[in-house]
């Protein structure tokens, strides 16, 4: 590249890079700086305390429990969402078989894609309102009402889905998976449509079953897309602030009830930052969240890395 071209490229990159540094990198640096102080949030004066906030995190049972909850979300949300999305995408694109041996999706595949994708257009606030109605702890709730109708639940003693320590995390997972499956179904469908039909037809001629077609053809050719989806869902699992704070909002500041059994790192951080006024301490939590998310992304990309398959 000639010298003039370097200046031309640098001129185009200067403004976006400067904006990225100012609005993305600099706030991270500020957060780390505040995490080393006893900043109260409202005051402009604070004292340097070194690593005291990080040492306190190691003794904070609420924050440590919140990390465990994020780990549970990290394990189950990506696995369930990706498996369901892959299954539905495969059925909609290659689940049917033509009379002449060709490969096609199930009947009405285009309509099903719209139906499955519909939850993705709902905001998280609307999703929280919707599932609060589903999980109402009386006969008026959709889930309790259905269970009462079929006789699985006593009308005088309905299940308190969001107030039961052993159920609240699973209730939140269902909401996240319900919303996310449609998006990843469309993502995987787009990737599947780029796979030549001849590949599937050759496998059918060789006597491959539907399961063999999926595991030997579809999944290997979609691995890069699955890997990307896993990283994004992992980031979702590391956050969960909006749903937890909205769906469990009557159980304490910024949700987390009952008795911190649904707390995640983000709700504990916001509670300390805005409710308790321990802003420097909350910044230390934010730094830990950033580091864990980066480690998660790197580990996931390396653990799922495999030789790229060309077709």
pLDDT greater than 50 at residue 100: no
Q: Average pLDDT, stretch 127-135?
A: 92
For residues 104 and 191, which has the higher predicted lDDT (pLDDT)?
191
Residue range(s) occupied by CATH 1.10.3720.10 in the chain: 51-303
Q: How confident is the model at residue 31 (pLDDT cuts 50, 70, 90)?
A: very high
Mean pLDDT of the chain: 85
Instruction: Give the pLDDT band (50/70/90) at residue 306.
Output: low
| 70/54 Cα distance (integer angstroms) | 19
User: By three-state DSSP, how is residue 103 classified?
Assistant: strand
Q: Please state whether the peptide bond connecting residue 2 to the residue before it is cis, i.e. omega within 30 degrees of 0.
A: no
pLDDT higher at 193 or 173: 173
CATH code that applies to domain 51-303: 1.10.3720.10
Residue 96: strand pairing partners: 104
The closest alpha carbon to 251, from 222, 280, 271, 237, belongs to 271
What is the DSSP-derived secondary structure letter of residue 174?
H
Residue 252 pLDDT class (50, 70, 90 cuts): low
Tokens of 30: 């500020």
Is pLDDT above 90 for 122? no
């Amino acid at each position: 590249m000639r010298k003039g071209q370097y200046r031309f490229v640098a001129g185009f990159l200067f403004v976006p890079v400067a904006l990225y540094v100012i609005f993305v990198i600099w706030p991270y640096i500020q957060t780390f700086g505040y995490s080393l102080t006893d900043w109260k949030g409202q005051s402009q004066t604070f004292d340097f305390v070194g690593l005291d906030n990080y040492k306190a995190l190691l003794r904070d049972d609420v924050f440590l429990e919140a990390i465990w909850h994020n780990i549970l979300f990290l394990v189950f949300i990506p696995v369930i969402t990706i498996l369901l999305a892959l299954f539905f995408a495969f059925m909609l694109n290659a689940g049917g078989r033509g009379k002449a041996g060709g490969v096609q999706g199930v009947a009405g595949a285009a309509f099903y894609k719209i139906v499955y994708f519909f939850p993705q257009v709902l905001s998280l606030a609307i999703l929280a309102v919707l599932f609060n109605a589903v999980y109402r702890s009386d006969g008026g709730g959709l889930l309790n009402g259905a269970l009462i109708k079929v006789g699985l639940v006593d009308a005088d003693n309905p299940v308190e889905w969001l107030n039961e320590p052993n159920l609240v995390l699973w209730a939140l997972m269902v909401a996240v998976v319900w919303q996310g499956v449609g998006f990843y179904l469309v993502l995987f469908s787009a990737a599947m449509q780029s796979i030549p039909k001849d590949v599937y037809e050759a496998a059918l001629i060789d006597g491959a079953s539907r399961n063999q077609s999926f595991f030997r053809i579809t999944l290997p050719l979609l691995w890069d897309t699955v890997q990307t989806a896993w990283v994004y869902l992992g980031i979702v699992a590391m956050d969960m602030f909006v749903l937890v704070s909205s769906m469990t909002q009557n159980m304490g500041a910024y949700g987390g009830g009952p008795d911190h059994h649904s707390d995640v790192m983000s709700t504990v951080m916001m509670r300390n930052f805005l409710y308790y006024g321990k802003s420097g301490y909350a910044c230390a939590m934010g730094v830990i969240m950033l580091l864990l998310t980066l480690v998660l992304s790197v580990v996931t990309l390396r653990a799922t890395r495999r030789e790229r398959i060309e077709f």
